[in-house]
Amino acid sequence: MRALVIFQHDEDGSGSPWSEWLRTGWQHVAVCVESHAGGVGCWWVRIDTAKGDIGFTVVAPTEFDLANYYRSFGHTVVETETRTYHPTWKLMPLAYLTCVGAAKRILGIRGWFVVTPWRLHQYLTKGQ
């Protein structure tokens, strides 16, 4: 399914306390996924872990150009697709409940060294 990964600067302090040490402009990430609501239509649903909570928000119909909407606010948006996650072992890999950890699980990414928004952006734009 289609997904938008939105990278934004944590200007309002809504992220984690250590986000101030992350690369400027790459301090928070949220994901919007395409949701098929059984006969009601298709909607973009935003999943965001700001302030330590997981929030789900229906933001717009999929016909709306949501990527350019977020770009108009100065955010970096990567258009991608979710991947099917096939674990190679029965133990779940270590995953912290951070914005990046949540984004990786939503997108089906296993990259062990992808732990910051900047590294997630590199991973997504390098085609890995």
pLDDT in tens, 63-116: 999 999 999 999 999 999 998 766 665 555 555 678 898 999 899 988 878 888
pTM: 0.81
Asked if residues 101 and 13 have their Cβ atoms less than 8 Å apart, the reply is: no
pLDDT at res. 49: 86
Contact residues for 49 (Cβ-Cβ < 8 A; gap 6+): 30, 55, 97, 98, 99, 102
The vertex-29 CA angle with 40 and 1, nearest 5°, equals: 35
The vertex-29 CA angle with 6 and 117, nearest 5°, equals: 110
High-pLDDT (> 90) share of the chain, %: 43
pLDDT above 90: residue 30: yes
How big is the chain, counted in residues?
A: 128
